[in-house]
C-alpha cells in the first residue's frame, strides 16, 4: 500500500483554465511517463446532463462537495459524459478506460484518463 507521502496532488483551476497544477512537495514520480486521473460522472436529477468530480489521488472529505466547479464556485454540468471527455481532452488528457456502476436506478460513470507527465 502506498503511503500518503508518495501521492501527488493536482489542483484543477476551473473550467475555463487549461492548466492543472502539481501541488505536491514530493518529486518521487518525476521519472514516470504518465499521470492519471479519473472523472466520475452522475446524472443530474430530472435532467440528461451530468456533473463530474475529478480524482487525481488528492485527499478527499466526505463532507466536501468534490464536483467540478468554475472559478465562481458554480457546479459545472455537461450534456453527457462524452461532452465531459471532450472537455478533458481539450485540457490534454487522453482516454484510457471506462466503466459504469449502477446504484439503484442511477448509473455512475468512471473514466480513467492519462496525460504526459510534465
Instruction: Check pLDDT > 60 for residue 15.
Output: no
pLDDT over threshold 90, residue 11: no
- DSSP reduced 3-state for 80: coil
What are the residues facing 107 on neighbouring strands? 102
**Over 60: is that where the pLDDT of 21 sits?**
no
Report residue 53 as a C-alpha cell: 468530480
What DSSP element (H or E) covers 82? helix 81-90
Contacts of 85 (CB under 8 A, 6+ apart): 39, 95, 111
Number of independent structural domains in the chain: 1
Query: Could you tell me if 25 and 4 are in contact, meaning their C-beta atoms sit under 8 angstroms apart?
Result: no
Residue 22 — very low, low, confident or very high, per pLDDT cuts 50/70/90?
A: low
- Predicted confidence at residue 115, as pLDDT, reads 92
- Domain span including residue 62: 4-116
Q: What is the chain's alpha carbon radius of gyration, rounded to the nearest angstrom?
A: 15
Amino acid at each position: 500500500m502506498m503511503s500518503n507521502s508518495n501521492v501527488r496532488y493536482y489542483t484543477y483551476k476551473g473550467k475555463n483554465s487549461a492548466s492543472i497544477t502539481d501541488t505536491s512537495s514530493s518529486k518521487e514520480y518525476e521519472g514516470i511517463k504518465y499521470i492519471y486521473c479519473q472523472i466520475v460522472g452522475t446524472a443530474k436529477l430530472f435532467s440528461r446532463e451530468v456533473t463530474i468530480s475529478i480524482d487525481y489521488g488528492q485527499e478527499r472529505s466526505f463532507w466536501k462537495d468534490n464536483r467540478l466547479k468554475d472559478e465562481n464556485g458554480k457546479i459545472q454540468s455537461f450534456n453527457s459524459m462524452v461532452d465531459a471527455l471532450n472537455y478533458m481532452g481539450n485540457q490534454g488528457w487522453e482516454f484510457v478506460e471506462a466503466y459504469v456502476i449502477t446504484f439503484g436506478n442511477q448509473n455512475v460513470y468512471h473514466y480513467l484518463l492519462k496525460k504526459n507527465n510534465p
